[in-house]
Structure 1
Amino acid sequence: MKKHGFTLIELIIVIVILGLLAVVAAPKFLNLQQASRISVLEATAASMKTTAEQVRAKALVQDVKNGNVQLDELGISVLVYNGYVEGYWNGAWRYILNIGKEIPFTSASAVCTANSLCGVGRQQTAPGFPLTTNGAQGLILIWPNGLRLSDQCYAYYYNQEDGTTPNTGVVTSGC
C-alpha cells in the first residue's frame, strides 16, 4: 500500500505563498485601522460642531453671552463664553458630547486607556495643532484609545474666546 502526502517542495511552495499573502495583507489591515481611527475622529469633530451650534442657539434663546446655559429640566447646564461653548471639559463638554458613553477627563500627557476615546479641555495648544491660539484656553481635544496627544491623532474644538465662530477639525498625521 502506497501512502500519499505532500512533498517537501510542495510544502515550501505553500509556505512561500502564505508568506507573500501575509506581506501583502498586513499593510492593508494596518491602513484599515488608521482609516477607522480617522473616521471616528472626523465623526467626533462633526458632533462637536453640531453640539456647539445647538448650545449657541440655546444661549441666544436664554440671552446668555457669558455664563451658564440651561440644557434641560434636570438642571444640567454648560458654560458659554461669548455665546459659544467654553473650552472647558468638566464644565461643558463632558455633559454635551453624547457618543453613547461619557468620555472621561484625561491628562494631556497620558495614554488614552479608560475608554475608546479620551478628552481634555482648557488647553492653549497641542502637538500639530493647525491654528494660532494666542494663549486662549478654549481648546478641547479628544483622542483614541492607545494613543497620546503627542501622537497627533485627535479631534479638536477651539473657542477663540473673542466672539468669532469656534473651529472644529482633526489632526491625523499620527493616526
Structure 2
Amino acid sequence: MMKKTGFTLIELIIVIVILGLLAVVAAPRFLNLQQASRISVLEATAAAMKTTAEQIKAKALVQNVKDGSVALDDLGINVQVYNGYVEGYWNGAWRYILNIGKEIPFTSASAVCSLNDLCGVGRQRTAPGFPLTTNGSAGLILIWPEGLRLSDECYAFYYNQEDGTTPNTGVVTTGC
C-alpha cells in the first residue's frame, strides 16, 4: 500500500492566516517608506531649485542683467530674470535649467502626475497648503510626484516674489 503525502486543510489555513498577518504588519511599513521616499525626492528637488537659482543669479551678475534675458551658452537657451533671479516660468526657464537627471515636462496644475516621475508647472500665484503669503505675483514654480495632484499637498516649490527679495524654496509634505 502507498502512503499518500500532502498538506492537510488545517495546515493550509494556518499558512494563509500567517501570510495575512504578515501582510497586515508589512503594509504600513511599506507605505511609510513610500512617504519617506517622496519627501526625500522633493527635498532634493527643492535643493536643486535653490542651487540652480543661485547659479542663474551669478550668471546674471556676470552678464550685468538685472531684469531681462540671461544667456546660458552651455544650454543654448535664454532665461528671463527679475532682479537677477529666475522668473517663475516653467516652459521658458525651469523646464530646461533644472538638471535632476531628466527633463520635467509641463503639467496642468489640476492634473494627476502620470506621464513621469515628477511633474512641473509655473506662473502660479498660490497652491494648496502653500506656507508663504503671496503678493499676487505669478512667480511660483511647483513640482510634484507621480500619482498625485497639487491638491494632495505634496510638492517642492520655488517662489520669486518679484519684489527684489531672495526667492524662497521649500517643500509641502502634508499629503505625501
CA contact (8 A) 1:119 1:140 kept: yes
Match of 1:121 in 2: 122
Letter in 2 for 1:105: F
Within 5 Å, give how 1:129-140 maps onto structure 2. 129-140=130-141
Segment drifting more, 70-79 vs 23-32: 70-79
Letter in 2 for 1:90: N
Match of 2:15 in 1: 14
Letter in 1 for 2:119: C
Within 5 Å, give how 1:64-103 maps onto structure 2. 64-72=65-73, 75-103=76-104
Three-state SS of the structure 1 residue aligned to 2:19 is helix
Three-state SS of the structure 2 residue aligned to 1:63 is coil
Give the gaps of 5 or more residues in structure 2: none
Question: d(CA) in 1 for partners of 2:55 and 2:71?
Answer: 12
Match of 2:172 in 1: 171
CA contact (8 A) 1:84 1:166 kept: yes
> What TM-score, normalized to structure 1?
0.95
Cα drift, residue 91 of structure 1: 1.6
Cα drift, residue 6 of structure 1: 2.2
Match of 1:149 in 2: 150
Give the gaps of 5 or more residues in structure 1: none
Cα drift, residue 73 of structure 1: 5.4
Cα drift, residue 74 of structure 1: 5.8
Post-superposition, which runs of at least 4 consecutive aligned residues in structure 1 deviate over 3 A? none
Three-state SS of the structure 2 residue aligned to 1:57 is helix
Structure 2 CA distance for partners of 1:73 and 1:169, relative to 1, 3 Å:
closer
Structure 2 CA distance for partners of 1:74 and 1:46, relative to 1, 3 Å:
closer
Structure 2 CA distance for partners of 1:107 and 1:22, relative to 1, 3 Å:
same
The count of aligned residue pairs is 175
Within 5 Å, give how 1:31-70 maps onto structure 2. 31-70=32-71
Three-state SS of the structure 2 residue aligned to 1:121 is strand
Three-state SS of the structure 2 residue aligned to 1:14 is helix
> What TM-score, normalized to structure 2?
0.95
